[in-house]
Amino acid sequence: MNFYKELELILQSRSPQEKIEKFNDFYTAYKAGKVVFEPTFQAKKFAKPSYSTICKIVAPQDVPKRTNLTTKEGQINLLHAIAHIEYSAIDLALDGAYRFTHMPKQYYDDWLEVAEDEIRHFLLLEALLHELGASYGSVAVHNALFEASQRTQTLVERMAVVPRYLEANGLDATPMIVQKIEKMPKNSMLEKIRDTLHVILEEEVSHVKKGDIWFAYACEKEGLSKDVYFEIIQKYYPQGFLRPKTLNIAARKEAGFTCKELNFMAKQTIC
């Protein structure tokens, strides 16, 4: 089994079931040492995200709101939004392994492990959607994460933007959702959502940490200071750090962010 070509096929899978089945077969072969890295391979730039055949894609501002979590509709909208992030994250992890060739084996070990985690998260969320009579594709989605992968074609930018910015933002956002749920009247579905978010948050810290390690690797390889992180984020997300009060300082420090970085984000000394 060829490493890059097989990942290309998995990335282009048109349904979650197909993608997950193909990944599981590939990952089993990879861990058994039955996958060969092609010495010369040119990654393709994908024109559309793999979910384009099952999800209606709209502008971010047009994605249905999930303001009232006491209603079935609000719960479906919340679960679907997070499931879409996790499904996109599967492709982001796989694309990270697919697009950047001639890396140390640990790099591929790390991002395939992340993909496996994201698949598990997606399946947890999908099961809750099914309980509510919905499924992935029931709600319109946006393309923001796919577009981030399209714009970041160098390793240093990919590691800065995807794990160290987009996924790290999830470390801040998830506790706020959990806190909101915990203030609501007891509801079995909301409790299931809260418990699932706890699982996801705990594992996402390790994903951001992996991104931190490989961002440092890419910086060293290119002779760059890690301070280039803020230049990269400013390039792609000029308003990127406008909510300093919501920073999950403990989780971000565990994931590799320095006090210098956190103080810069918070625009004050916080650690």
Q: What is the CATH number of the domain that holds 195?
A: 1.20.1260
* Confidence at residue 268, expressed as pLDDT on a 0 to 100 scale: 86
Q: Residues of the chain with pLDDT > 70: what percent?
A: 99
**Could you tell me if residue 271 is inside a domain?**
no
Number of neighbours of residue 227 by Cβ within 10 angstroms: 11
What is the predicted pLDDT for the residue at 242? 66
Roughly what angle, to the nearest 10 degrees, separates helices 3-11 and 16-31? 160
120 by DSSP, 3-state: which?
helix
Nearest-angstrom CA–CA distance, 68 and 79: 13
102 assigned to some structural domain: yes
DSSP 258: -
What pLDDT is recorded for position 186?
86
Domain that holds residue 72: 3-266
- What's the total number of domains in the chain? 1
Instruction: Identify the pLDDT of residue 137.
Output: 97
197-232 tens-digit pLDDT = 999 999 999 999 999 999 999 999 999 999 999 999
Query: Whole-prediction pTM value?
Result: 0.96
Q: How many angstroms from the chain centroid is the CA of residue 129? A: 19
244 falls within a domain = yes
Angle (nearest 5°) at CA 97 between 95 and 98: 60
In a domain, 225, yes or no: yes
The answer to whether position 168 is within a domain reads: yes
Identify whether 186 is part of a domain.
yes
Give me the DSSP letters along 30-77.
HHTT--B--SS--PPPPSS-GGGGTS-B--GGGSPP---TTSHHHHHH
pLDDT at 66 > cutoff 90: no
